[in-house]
Amino acid sequence: MSPSVNVPLKGAAGWQKLQTQRKAFWSRGTNNVLSPHFRAAEFWTHDGSAPPIVARPALVTLCEVFLEPLREKFGVALVLSGYRHELYNQQIGGARFSQHVYEQTFESVAADLRFELGTPALWAAEARLIRERANSGQGGVGRYDRSGFVHVDNRGYAADWAG
């Protein structure tokens, strides 16, 4: 699978310019607002790297279809991991073709979440119900009981796993 968007790796020529452009975009107007309770800044890589601009429609969809309904049922959500650039994903041992690497899959994006109420089992079960009812059976749901979070993405097919 080749990347959807060709970008330099972090630290390579052009990375800093790209980040400057992205950060300017996300700070303009309401670009940072993805839904009533979620902001793009919550999805930035932990090293401060901003997600691709072209991923905004998929982020809005992820929030509207999955995250807002989950939040309504389970309370305030903490986005543990959203966007990861390629090098960061490698450093943390992420899957090679992770939905978190938005440059590879800007049409679909991912978030790892923890909610105020419930358990990863309940969050994953609800995400699967949402997927069937509201998203034509499409999207990935990963349940991580030991780590205490759920992964949700809006890929174009159903995928379920436990970690």
Which domain, by its residues, includes 154? 15-162
Residue 10 inside a domain? The answer is no
What local confidence, expressed as pLDDT, does residue 2 receive? 43
pLDDT band of 1, cuts 50, 70, 90? very low
Residue 31 inside a domain? The answer is yes
Mean per-residue pLDDT of the chain? 94
Strand, helix or coil for residue 57 = helix
Taking only the tens place, the pLDDT of each residue in 81-118 is: 999 999 999 999 999 899 999 998 889 999 999 999 99
Residue 124 inside a domain? The answer is yes
Is the pTM of the predicted complex or chain greater than 0.85? yes
Query: What CATH number did the domain enclosing 51 receive?
Result: 3.30.1380
pLDDT band of 5, cuts 50, 70, 90? low
AA letter at 79: V
Return the C-alpha torsion angle 107, 108, 109, 115, nearest 10: 140
Inter-CA distances, 30 with 41, 55, 74, Å: 12, 15, 26
- Separation CA 67–CA 46 (nearest Å): 20
Residue 6 inside a domain? The answer is no
Residue 93 inside a domain? The answer is yes
| Summary count for the chain: helices (H), strands (E) | 5, 7
Inter-CA distances, 156 with 8, 9, 145, Å: 26, 26, 25
Taking only the tens place, the pLDDT of each residue in 51-86 is: 999 999 999 999 999 999 999 999 999 999 999 999
**Sign of the four-CA dihedral 6, 39, 97, 11:** positive
Q: How many domains does the chain have?
A: 1
Taking only the tens place, the pLDDT of each residue in 7-22 is: 787 888 889 999 999 9
Residue 58 inside a domain? The answer is yes
Residue 154 inside a domain? The answer is yes
Task: Read off the pLDDT of each residue in 31-48 and give the average, rounded to a whole number.
Answer: 97
| β-bridge mates for residue 161, sequence order | 142
In this predicted structure, which of 38-42, 95-99, 122-126 has the lowest mean pLDDT?
Answer: 95-99
